[in-house]
A and B are shown apart, each in its own frame.
Chain A
Amino acid sequence: MDRFLHSDLFYDFVRSPIAVISFVLVSTLILLAVFANFIAPTNPFDPASLNLMNGFTAPLEPNAFTGEVFLMGTDDQGRDLFSAILFGLRVSLFVGLMAVALATGIGVFLGLLAGYIGGWLDSLIMRLADIQMTFPSILIAMLIYGVARGVLPPALRDEMAISVLILSIGLSEWVSIARTVRSSTLVEKEKEYVAAARLIGLNHFRIMLRHILPNVLSPVLVIATITLALAIIAEATLSFLGVGAPPTKPSLGTLIRVGQDFLFSGEWWILLFPAITLLLLALSVNLFGDWLRDTLNPRLK
């Protein structure tokens, strides 16, 4: 910890307004999501607590029938939008983080193997990567989703939706991480400290894990952050299209889908607030990832 506080990275961090702001923003959103239960004034998914008469209330204006005031208004069912957004944020973040974790796990593992062992294993993994890269990840995610839906009995489809989402997004994003790890591994493999380790008789797995892995992780950090932004957007997109988080457990994307329907009738808030939240989330993650990439760029040393 001490080393971190004195590191170049931290030094640059506290001097960069963008880094600090985006970090604070992301952290705030994460905290909001984690503590949604405590912060949200209502539970928007408990049918019992809903009052249809509350429907279509504008933000901060008292409802014509019940007189209740809602921070961000209500939707057609009378759900408090603020609460819905908090829980939606939770879903979006959860799926995003889990998907990135999955993609990173697969990517680092395969990338290390491909780079270090080389030969036919490398060719195989890279061919696989190439083929998958031919198709946009959204498409792959949709495909996996579609197949999973076809395979699962209708009853389970909604319940498993989140897991399927994580699986499909995670599987569609491993390639760029694997490529990065592989190319870093190829570079590190040729460095003399690896030869020195071999000279001591260490076996290959030990070298991969203890010597090479720590040195390939920093580009992974950058890519993982950027992939997180991609995953969040991918999840939102899939949910918007109707093949992601279901209305029973909506994410920000699902809420926006609902919001679009009400644009023409003038209930603009149903669209706007989830949209702004999504934008803030993706933007702050992207900003942070961009800053991280620029700072960790060895070219500037």
Chain B
Amino acid sequence: MVEKLLELKHISVTFKTRRGSFKAVDDLSLDLKEGEILGIVGESGAGKSITGAAILGLIPSPGKLSSGTISFKGQRIDLNPKLMRGSKISMIFQDPLVSLNPLRRIGDQLIETIQTHSPCSSAEAFKRAIKSLEEVGIDPSRFDAYPHTFSGGMRQRVVIALALAPGPAVIVADEPTTSLDVSNQDQVLKLLKKLCKEKKTSVILVTHDMGVIFQTTDRVAVLYGGRLVEIGVTREVLKNPTHSYTQSLVQSTPKIEVGSFKKPTDQLDGFQPKIDEQSKALVAEKLTREFDLSPAWFFRKLSFQKQKRVLAVDSVSFSINKGETYGLVGDSGSGKSTIAKMVVGLLKPSSGAITFNGKNLNGSDLSHRESQKIRQRIQMVFQSPYASLNPRWKIGDILLEPIRVFGLSSSIEDEHKRIFELLDQVGLSKSDVQKYPHEFSGGQRQRISIARALASKPDVIICDEPTSALDVSIQAQVLNLLRELQREFSLTYLFITHDLAVVSSMANNIGVLNKGRLIEEQSSEMLFSKPQHEHTKMLLAAAPILDI
């Protein structure tokens, strides 16, 4: 039995661009044993996807394997990677929505893949294809369906079926569940693990998610800046990391924790004491929002279709105390973004009310002045660091805009003072005023977003997945910043996220959303120790948490 199934020896991948060469992978060596699941973890730019691609000879141009060798069962394969593809080594990609040829039925694609590697009769291929579908949990009656008729999670299962069909010895899975929501993610990972153990297929699992690594892999390799930083048995590496980078990575990964820094609340088992209206910053009452997706009247009549209405938010009520953080959790489609938009005024609720400091925000006849006054007090930090700043504006102008529009300063010097103050508060420097957004990293851009939200000295800030797009270590920094600012300025946060670990470290109280309904609302502690609702329990079980 060959000990090392796959061996990468001192490989380097170099990209030649117009500005010079760039080493995406630098002198990397690792090996894969038979039947094991090896994780490759690192943050963005660490070179993990490229390493995976290199194994199959699929490095995107202009990259090339500039040195080192890759061997499979002792034989060099880097010179002629095509021979290995499918039959010995397979690969699955991140986004299931674009991994399948939209014009081909899935059954056809399965048969094609099977017959490419082991020519057999169509009847035989058909039987094997059906078996593949069953193995991944897809009803064989969908053999003739097109990819677009499947959801993301289902499509990823088809992808797995295709990758496993030729019976490879190794599968390289490049962030296979990153695009899926939590429950799907859990199912797909479990499926992958089960099938691979059954068929004794080794897996190289590339991901940035430490929780996934913890729950799925046998060994893990940590990458940073294209280099291998640490490698070993997963539990060992995560429990006792030897390299400083690994240590910081493990530390930054949010775990379920109920912070002791938060103000003590006197609650007993989910019972909310009566607090008078004044100390409630924001109250939502029976908030509802319906979207009308019906086809135009004329065509409805023609084809006897019904009206199609989607209830995105269904009678949701919650309240946030001043100076506290309320976490709103749920999967995609649960309605959390819609709620955020309604609270902040970007969408009008179909029914229900939002009250801010006692004033009803949806009073129909708010003058522009009154609306502006309210807008000053409620601001928002968005999810995407790339789309939330106008790429053509300088940072100084971006921060200046709210100050000017709300009329918050009396002179140009005053304005400049305020802008420098804001930059300082979020940990950036004065000289950044002249720069454009693309000159900053993702984490820095979120800081600028936060500065912009602070510009009007608001009372409430809605944080809509503010760190979901950031690397783990940066995420920790930004969350820290948010906590500091809350302390300093007595801010009230509505914190929206899908990540249970993150919300546990940020929120006093948490509301769980599912399909537009608020199914559970508890203090942080209670939610994680004694979840009530089935769905909450399912979410907690499915979340890949680093639980050492």
Which residues in A have some Cβ–Cβ distance to B below 8 Å?
A: 11-12, 15, 191-193, 195-202, 211, 214-215
Interface 9-mer from B143-151, B179-187, B251-259, B385-393: B385-393
With A15-B18, A193-B388, A215-B391 as known contacts, state yes or no: A200 contacts B402, CB within 8 Å. yes
B405 in contact with A198 (CB, 8 Å)? no
> Distance in Å from the Cβ of A267 to the closest Cβ of chain B?
50
Q: Which of A192, A200, A215 contacts B401 (CB under 8 A)?
A: A200
B residues less than 8 Å from A193 (CB atoms): 387-390
A157→B449 CA distance, assembly (Å): 60
Closest to A215 in B: B392
Q: Is the CB of B387 within 8 A of A192?
A: yes
Q: Which of B161-169, B199-207, B376-384, B481-489 contacts A (4 or more CB under 8 A)?
A: B376-384
Asked if A202 and B387 sit within 8 Å, CB to CB, the answer is no
Point out the residue from B346, B375, B405 that lies within 8 Å of A195, measured CB to CB. B346
Considering only CB atoms, which chain A residue lies closest to B436 in the complex?
A3
C-alpha spacing A290/B389, complex, angstroms: 30
Q: A193-B389, A214-B392, A215-B390 are in contact. Are A201 and B384 (CB under 8 A)?
A: no
| Contact bitstring B71-86, A, C-beta under 8 A = 1, else 0 | 0000000000000000
Residues of A contacting B387 with CB < 8 Å?
191-193
Can you spell out 18 A-B residue pairs with CB atoms less than 8 angstroms apart? A12-B18, A191-B387, A192-B382, A192-B387, A195-B380, A196-B380, A197-B390, A197-B401, A199-B346, A199-B375, A200-B375, A200-B406, A201-B368, A201-B372, A201-B405, A211-B390, A214-B392, A214-B393
Chain B residues in 8 Å Cβ range of A201 = 368, 371-372, 375, 405-406
B368 touches A195 (CB 8 A): no
A198 and B375 alpha carbons, distance in the complex (Å): 10
* Shortest Cβ distance from residue A3 to the other chain B in the assembled complex, whole angstroms: 9
Which chain B residues border A199 with CB–CB below 8 Å? 344-346, 375, 379-380
- Residue in A11, A196, A202 whose CB lies within 8 Å of B382: A196
Counting residue pairs across A and B whose Cβ atoms lie within 8 Å, the total is: 52
Q: In the assembled complex, how far is the CB of residue A67 from the closest CB belonging to chain B, in whole angstroms?
A: 57
**Contact flags (1/0) for B396-423 with A, using CB distance below 8 Å?**
0000011001100000000000000000
**Which residues of B from 239 to 276 have beta carbons under 8 Å from A?**
none
Inter-subunit contact B390/A195 (CB<8 Å):
no
Distance of A15 Cα from B19 Cα, bound (Å): 11
Known: A200-B402, A201-B405, A202-B405. A195 touches B372 (CB 8 A): no
- B384 proximity list for chain A (CB < 8 A): 191-192
Q: How far is the CA of A11 from the CA of B18 in the complex (A)?
A: 10
Q: Is the C-beta of B219 less than 8 angstroms from some C-beta in chain A?
A: no
Instruction: Name the prevailing secondary structure of the B interface residues.
Output: loop
* B345 neighbours in A (Cβ, 8 Å): 199
B447 contacts partner chain A, Cβ-Cβ < 8 Å: no
Bound-state Cα–Cα, A196 to B387, Å: 10
Contact with A along B41-85 (1 / 0, CB 8 A): 000000000000000000000000000000000000000000000
Pairwise interchain contact B388-A192, C-beta atoms closer than 8 A: yes
Chain B's closest residue to A211 (CB) is B390
B435 to nearest A CB, angstroms? 11
Nearest CB in chain B: distance from A116 CB, A: 15
Complex CA gap A258/B154 in Å reads 68
Q: How far is it, in angstroms, between the C-alpha of A11 and the C-alpha of B20 when the chains are bound?
A: 14
A187 to chain B, nearest CB (A): 10
| A200 CB contacts on chain B under 8 angstroms | 375, 401-402, 405-406, 456
Are A198 and B388 closer than 8 Å at their CB atoms?
Answer: no
> Given B18, B372, B379, B383, which contacts A192 in the complex, CB threshold below 8 Å?
B383
Q: Chain B, interface size: which category?
A: 20 to 34
Query: Is B452's beta carbon under 8 Å from chain A?
Result: yes
- The docked-state distance in angstroms from the alpha carbon of A197 to that of B512 is 29
* Chain A minimum-CB-distance residue to B369: A201
Query: Residues of B contacting A214 with CB < 8 Å?
Result: 390, 392-393
Given A197-B401, A200-B402, 19 extra CB contacts under 8 A: A11-B18, A12-B18, A15-B18, A191-B388, A192-B382, A192-B383, A192-B384, A196-B380, A196-B382, A197-B390, A199-B345, A199-B379, A200-B375, A200-B401, A200-B406, A201-B375, A201-B406, A214-B392, A215-B391
The 4 tightest CB contacts between A and B, nearest first, are A192-B388, A192-B382, A191-B387, A214-B392
C-alpha gap A196/B379 in the complex (Å): 9
A202 to B368 Cα, complex, angstroms? 11
Q: Please name all residues of chain A whose beta carbon is closer than 8 Å to the beta carbon of B449 when the two chains form the complex.
A: 196
- Measured CB to CB, the closest approach of chain B to A263, in angstroms, equals 47
Cα of A192 to Cα of B383 in the assembled complex, Å? 8
Task: Provide the bound-state CA to CA distance between A195 and B371, in Å.
Answer: 16
- The smallest beta-carbon distance between A43 and chain B, in angstroms, is 47
Q: Which residues of B contact A196 (CB under 8 A)?
A: 380, 382, 388, 449, 452
Task: Tell me the smallest distance from the CB of A239 to a CB of chain B, in Å.
Answer: 40
CB distance from B26 to the nearest CB of A (A): 23
Chain A neighbourhood of B379, CB < 8 A: 199
Candidate in A195, A197, A198 with the most chain B CB atoms within 10 angstroms: A195
* CA gap between A12 and B405 in the complex, in Å: 38
Q: How far is the CA of A275 from the CA of B456 in the complex (A)?
A: 64
Residues in B with CB closer than 8 Å to A191 are: 384, 387-388
Chain B residues, Cβ within 8 Å of A211: 390
Cβ contacts under 8 Å, A215 to chain B:
390-392
**A187→B344 CA distance, assembly (Å):** 22
Contacts of B372 in A (CB 8 A): 201
In the complex formed, the residue of A with least CB distance to B345 is: A199
The answer for the CA separation of A272 and B120 in the assembled complex, in Å, is: 65
Shortest distance from the beta carbon of A4 to any chain B beta carbon, whole Å: 13
Complex: A237 Cα to B384 Cα, angstroms:
49
CB contacts under 8 Å to A, within B339-396, are 344-346, 368, 371-372, 375, 379-380, 382-384, 387-393
| Minimum Cβ distance to chain A for residue B474 (Å) | 18
A31 to B376, CA, bound (A): 54
Q: Which residues 174-230 of B have a CB within 8 angstroms of A?
A: none
Smallest CB separation, B467 vs chain A (Å): 14
Min CB–CB distance B175 → chain A (angstroms): 20
How far, in whole Å, are A154 and B371 apart by their CA atoms in the complex?
A: 61
The docked-state distance in angstroms from the alpha carbon of A12 to that of B402 is: 36
Residues of A within 8 A of B383 (CB): 192
Q: How far is the CA of A191 from the CA of B18 in the complex (A)?
A: 30
Asked if A198 contacts B346 (CB within 8 A), the reply is: yes
Say how far B48's CB is from chain A's closest CB, in angstroms: 21
Q: Which residues of A contact B393 (CB under 8 A)?
A: 214
Bound form: Cα–Cα A238–B345 in Å:
54
* Nearest CB on B from A6, distance (A): 11
Closest to B17 in A: A300
Chain B residues within an 8 Å CB radius of A195: 346, 380, 382
Q: What's the least CB distance linking A201 to chain B, in Å?
A: 5
Q: Which of B380, B387, B449 has the most CB of A within 10 A?
A: B387
Q: How far is the CA of A103 from the CA of B401 in the complex (A)?
A: 33
Q: CA–CA, A200 to B375, complex, Å?
A: 7
> When chains A and B are docked, how far (Å) is the Cα of A198 from the Cα of B371?
12
> Which residues of A lie under 8 Å from residue B18 when comparing CB positions?
11-12, 15
B463 CB, min distance to chain A CBs, angstroms? 13
Enumerate B263-293 residues with CB–CB distance to A below 8 Å: none
How long is the Cα–Cα vector from A198 to B347 in the complex, in angstroms? 11
Residue of A11, A15, A191, A197 ringed by the most chain B CB atoms within 10 A:
A191
